[in-house]
Structures are given as structure tokens and as C-alpha cells.
């Protein structure tokens, strides 16, 4: 959540870099934005609302030449959106400006102490205590960097912090449980909470670890530990390019990313599955043979975890999925053979990281399933399985869910040791990208969305592997259309939720194949049909569910384990077109953030 950008060394371009960087961080979710530049004095402009409002308000000469600067997009936690609560925040003198992601847990005590000593506060935020702490330290005659370190030493909680000071030509920064990455350019050094903020300037990055401090000056950078000792950091290259983070002619990032799924799935599978030999070769999974598997995840990733746990159980492996926020405070029992798998698109999800750290405290092996190379989860887990989906800018996950589902299939095949006996599934994995493309080419989702756009509520039902996709379909519709939607295991509909079904409640039913699960789900479809509810069947046409449906969204026939991935594409499109017709902010839905870095 929130976004940080910093720059040192671009001279007259610094303001443009900051504003461009904030635009590159819009996808994370925000309700206000601001910048601070230092060049002998600190100058600030910040506004509630969009970055466009900030751009309209800012003086283009802000900071002048040779300035260093920081910028921020805020997602409110302490205090409502307002100009006063926007970042950057300053001290009493206006000579220290700070931006902050995370939550300062002891801010109330610090604020009370500072107020008693004469400091005046102008916002409701927890973040404002930091510049005042820096001011206090500066009054003792220490250097700007030492003052920043002293202030940070008094703070408890999660944070990514960046500061500029009137008496310093540097951007100072540090992190704890909140992401921060440096960008190493030819003429400048950059700082951001995520790579897209500076990707147009450099693809060379340095990832900060918790407790490390960074100093950015004109064209140079350094990293040190909490004791001030220099840390030798390696420079990595980001495989993404700036074009991948553009809309490329699509109306929204979400639609673009839905259409990128065939390519994302091919990348996830490339070099990992050999249909000729019937083998799965994933380096991160070599040698794994757990007695049980516990998945921890949040939101869409939790639905992928539910799907993955179902696959493992079908392979005879004891597996269960937990909400990471619950696991962190009430972990499940483990033994020496337990593997804890954390699924997180960004690799920075605070709840998931906390759950994995709890697993580490219990001395069990951990595996990260993530999209972002160099993310915190990839550095902290024992093993990492990258889903290779490429950058996802839309807040609502789309292509990353599909890639997580395929990664779960790879995990199930690898752990079962039965890939060679599962040629049908391996062949279906090969065909999956082209089948997704066929749906994208021929879907009736826009027509169906238009038909039901005025419905007050929507239900999604499915059995077995379709159950998690029912939850995901409902979540996607809620996220971007703001419509009420619920997902259920199909058999549960009659145990209470059926009371809410009316002729105005479309029920999306996922039915593929003609086995027992399909037969029983059709029985549930008949139950809602008898209540005059319109049914939208998402089906491969093998069963006769279409007879009982008002509308049909077709998917190609495939292996039962992969049918939910195809069904999910249709549901993504329905959600997108409902939201588009309602005029919603599809890529940046209200109150939501792409990377949830607070617990």
C-alpha cells in the first residue's frame, strides 16, 4: 500500500522524475499524493485526491536545479484523506520532510512526548512523528544522517521511510517489513517502494533488507547497516521493460492483463514440463517430499491456495489452506515434515510474510510462490517458485491468479512423483494457453454482463476445484464493480444462502465434464431455477446443464483440474464488463491497494 519515490542526481529533471514515478505507483492504490524537494531549503506540494490534482497545483520550478527529492502516494490508515494528512510530513521548522509506508505502532506515545516538549502537529497521521524526532536529534548537533538514524531507532512497527533535509544533499531511507528498492542509473540514483516507479530510467536494482539504511546522492548511492557499517550489495537486473507496464492500446490495465494470460501461462510452463518424457522439472521443487503442506495466503492468492490444496489432496498429500492473517496469530500444528507454502503476487503481502515468519520460528521449511524476483518473500523463504506472469498493474489480480493455479499444478505433480503417469494432464497443460486464447476471442461475457448489470446481487457456485474459482469470481466482481457478490461451494447453497435467491439474483454455475460433481451441481442449479433465479452456466457442454440455464458461457474441454482456470477467464471478463458499463474505476478500485503491506 502507498508508494514512495525518491531521486538524486537528475538536476532540473528531479520534479518530473518524482511525478512520473508517482504515476507509475498509482496501481498500488492511493487517496492523496505529494512531493518534497531539497536544495538548500525544503519545498513541498501535496494534495488530497489524484496525482493529476497534484500536477495541476505544483509549481514547475519547485526545488530549482540540483535538487534531490521524494514523493508519495498515500492510502489512508491514520486519519481521513486530506491535504493535511497527505505526505510528505515536516517538522516544526519545515526543514525536514519525510514520507512513510507502513504503521508506526508506538506513535501515540511518541506524539504525546513530542507535544509535551513543544512540538506542534498538523495531521492525524502516525507518520508525522518521524520528522519531529529527526528535528529533536538535529537540535543536539548531530549530522542529518545520524539524526535520521536516531529517529528511526525510536520507531516501532512496519515502515519504509525516506527523508530529505534542508542541510543535506542526500535522500535518506530505511525499511522494516515494508518494501524499498534502489534504482541504479548512469546519472542518478532512485528509490521506490516498487520497480515500476523508475523502470523507464533504469533496470538495475538493489533490494534493501530490513534494518538497512540507504543514502542517495547525485549519481551515487550507499547502503549501511543499523550500526553504520557499509553493506556490500549486489545489483540485479529487472527482466521487465517499461513497455510491459503500459496499457498498449487497451482501455484498462485489467483488460490488458486478462488478455496477457496465454503468454503468462506459457512463460510459467516453459522449461518446466516435458510432455515427451512426462516429467516436471522445477529446480525450486527438487528434493521436496513433505508429509504435509500448509498454504498461507490472502485474497485472490488464498483462492489459489484453496485450489492448490485440493490438487495435493487428490494426490494423496495432506494439505490445507489457511488465511495468512489467521495463521500468523494461530498457526496450525506442524512437524518435521511440514512444508509451508506462501502464495503472494507481490512478495510483499504483510500478512503472508508474518505467517511465513511464524513457520520459520517453528523450524519448518518454507516455499514462496510469487511473481516478483527480489521480493521480500523470495529472499526470506527457503525456496521460491516464480510464476513468471510479468508485471500486473491492475489492482484486481487476473493473470497472476491463473499463473498461480498453474504453479500449484506443477507443485502437485512434482510432490506426487507421478508426472510420468499423468500424461493427460501434462498434455492439457500444453494446450491451456491456446484454450484461454480461444475464450478471449469468442467470449459472450460482454453480452451477459450487459444483461445482468442492474442486478442487486450475484451468486457463484462450483464444486471441488471449481469451489475456489466461485470465490474468486465473486471477489473479482466485488472488487471492481462494487456490486454485492458471494461465492459458495455448490452444495452449501441450500444450507442458508438459498434464502437470498430471487428472480433478480443471477447464479453463475461452473459445470464441466459429466461426472458426479457435475451431476450434483446441476441439482443445485435446478434448486435455484425453481426459485426463478436466472442461471449462467459456465460449461464445456459435456453435461446438459445448458438446458437449465438462461445463458451459457462456453469453455473448451480439458483435464478436470484445469477446467476451473478456463472458467475463471470467463468470470474475469464478466466482472470487467459489468464494471465498465457502470463506469467504475477498474484499475484503481476505491479503498483497495495492489500490495497490502500492513497487517
| Summary count for the chain: helices (H), strands (E) | 17, 26
Closest CA to 429 of 440, 442, 413, 441: 413
Distance in angstroms (rounded) separating the CA atoms of residues 73 and 81: 11
Distance in angstroms (rounded) separating the CA atoms of residues 322 and 331: 9
Distance in angstroms (rounded) separating the CA atoms of residues 26 and 252: 13
The grid coordinates listed for 109 are: 506515545
Distance in angstroms (rounded) separating the CA atoms of residues 529 and 540: 20
The position carrying cell 517430499 is 289
List, by residue number, the catalytic residues: 2, 594
Q: What is the length of the chain?
A: 599
Distance in angstroms (rounded) separating the CA atoms of residues 599 and 584: 27
CA 478 from centroid of its chain's CA atoms = 17
- The residues near 481 (Cβ < 8 Å, ≥ 6 apart) are 575, 578, 579, 582, 584
Q: Alpha helix (H) ranges present in 362-398?
A: 376-380
Burial category of 366 from C-beta neighbours within 10 Å (exposed 0-12, middle 13-18, buried 19 and up): buried
Contact 192/4 with Cβ under 8 angstroms? yes
Q: At 154, is the secondary structure helix, strand, or coil? A: coil
- The residues near 310 (Cβ < 8 Å, ≥ 6 apart) are 464, 465, 467, 468
Distance in angstroms (rounded) separating the CA atoms of residues 216 and 38: 13
Tell me the β-bridge partners of 386.
370
Contact 559/428 with Cβ under 8 angstroms? yes
Concatenate the DSSP letters of all residues of 224-282 into one string: E-TTS-B-----EE-S--GGGGS-TT-SSHHHHHHHTHHHHHHHHHTTTEETTTTEE--
Contact 378/384 with Cβ under 8 angstroms? yes
Q: What is the largest CA-CA distance in the chain?
A: 81
- The residues near 425 (Cβ < 8 Å, ≥ 6 apart) are 409, 413, 559, 561, 562
Report residue 472: phi and psi, to 5°. -65, -40
The grid coordinates listed for 527 are: 434448486
Amino acid at each position: 500500500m502507498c508508494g514512495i519515490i525518491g531521486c538524486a542526481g537528475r538536476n532540473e529533471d528531479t520534479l518530473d522524475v518524482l511525478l512520473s514515478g508517482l504515476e507509475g505507483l498509482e496501481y498500488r492504490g492511493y487517496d492523496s499524493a505529494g512531493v518534497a524537494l531539497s536544495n538548500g531549503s525544503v519545498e513541498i506540494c501535496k494534495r488530497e485526491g489524484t496525482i493529476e490534482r497534484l500536477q495541476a497545483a505544483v509549481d514547475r520550478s519547485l526545488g530549482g536545479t540540483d535538487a534531490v527529492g521524494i514523493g508519495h502516494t498515500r492510502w489512508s490508515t491514520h486519519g481521513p484523506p486530506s491535504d493535511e494528512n497527505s505526505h510528505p510530513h515536516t517538522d516544526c521548522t519545515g526543514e525536514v520532510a519525510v514520507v512513510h509506508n507502513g504503521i508506526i505502532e508506538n506513535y501515540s506515545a511518541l506524539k504525546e512526548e513530542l507535544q509535551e516538549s513543544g512540538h506542534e502537529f498538523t495531521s492525524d497521521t502516525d507518520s508525522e512523528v518521524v520528522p519531529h524526532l529527526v528535528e529533536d536529534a538535529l537540535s543536539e548537533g548531530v549530522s542529518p544522517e545520524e539524526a535520521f538514524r536516531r529517529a528511526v531507532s525510536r520507531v516501532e512497527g512496519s515502515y519504509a521511510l525516506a527523508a530529505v533535509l534542508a542541510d543535506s544533499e542526500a535522500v535518506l531511507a530505511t525499511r522494516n517489513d515494508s518494501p524499498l528498492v534502489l534504482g541504479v542509473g548512469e546519472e542518478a540514483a532512485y528509490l521506490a517502494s516498487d520497480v515500476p516507479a523508475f523502470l523507464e530510467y533504469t533496470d538495475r536494482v538493489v533490494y534493501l533488507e530490513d534494518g538497512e539504511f540507504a543514502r542517495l546522492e547525485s549519481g551515487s548511492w550507499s547502503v549501511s547497516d543499523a550500526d553504520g557499517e557499509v553493506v556490500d550489495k549486489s545489483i540485479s537486473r529487472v527482466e521487465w521493460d517499461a513497455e510491459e507496464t503500459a496499457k498498449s492500446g487497451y482501455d484498462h490495465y485489467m483488460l490488458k492483463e486478462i488478455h496477457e494470460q496465454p503468454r503468462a501461462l506459457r512463460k510459467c510452463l516453459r522449461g518446466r514440463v516435458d510432455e515427451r518424457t512426462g516429467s516436471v522439472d522445477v529446480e525450486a521443487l527438487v528434493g521436496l517430499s513433505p508429509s504435509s503442506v500448509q498454504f498461507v495466503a490472502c485474497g485472490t492468492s488464498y483462492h489459489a491456495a484453496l485450489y492448490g490444496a485440493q490438487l495435493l489432496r487428490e494426490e494423496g498429500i495432506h494439505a490445507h489452506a489457511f488465511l495468512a492473517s489467521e495463521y500468523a496469530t494461530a498457526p496450525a500444528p506442524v512437524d518435521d515434515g511440514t512444508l509451508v507454502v506462501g502464495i503472494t503476487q507481490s512478495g510483499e503481502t504483510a500478512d503472508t510474510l508474518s505467517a511465513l515468519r511464524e513457520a520459520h520460528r517453528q523450524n519448518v521449511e518454507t516455499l514462496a510462490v510469487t511473481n516478483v524476483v527480489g521480493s521480500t518473500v523470495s529472499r526470506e523463504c527457503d525456496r521460491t517458485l516464480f510464476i513468471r506472469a510479468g508485471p500486473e498493474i491492475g489492482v484486481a489480480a487476473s493473470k497472476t491468479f491463473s499463473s498461480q493455479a498453474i504453479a500449484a499444478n506443477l507443485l502437485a505433480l512434482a510432490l506426487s512423483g507421478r508426472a510420468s503417469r499423468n500424461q493427460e494432464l501434462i498434455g492439457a497443460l500444453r494446450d491451456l494457453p491456446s484454450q484461454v486464447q480461444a475464450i478471449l476471442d469468442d467470449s459472450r461475457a460482454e453480452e451477459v454482463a450487459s444483461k445482468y448489470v442492474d442486478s442487486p446481487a450475484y451468486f457463484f457456485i462450483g464444486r471441488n476445484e471449481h469451489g475456489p474459482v466461485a470465490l474468486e469470481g465473486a471477489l473479482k466482481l466485488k472488487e471492481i464493480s462494487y456490486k454485492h457478490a458471494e461465492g459458495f461451494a455448490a452444495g452449501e447453497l441450500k444450507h442458508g444462502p438459498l434464502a437470498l435467491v430471487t428472480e433478480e439474483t443471477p447464479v453463475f454455475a461452473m459445470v464441466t465434464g459429466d461426472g458426479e460433481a457435475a451431476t450434483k451441481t446441476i441439482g443445485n442449479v435446478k434448486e435455484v431455477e425453481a426459485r426463478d433465479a436466472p442461471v449462467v452456466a459456465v460449461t464445456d457442454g459435456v453435461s446438459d446443464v445448458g438446458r437449465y440455464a438462461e445463458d451459457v458461457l462456453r469453455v473448451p474441454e480439458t483435464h478436470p483440474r484445469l477446467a476451473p482456470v478456463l472458467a475463471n477467464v470467463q468470470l474475469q471478463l464478466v466482472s470487467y464488463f459489468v464494471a465498465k458499463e457502470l463506469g467504475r474505476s477498474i484499475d484503481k478500485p476505491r479503498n483497495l491497494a495492489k500490495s497490502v503491506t500492513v497487517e
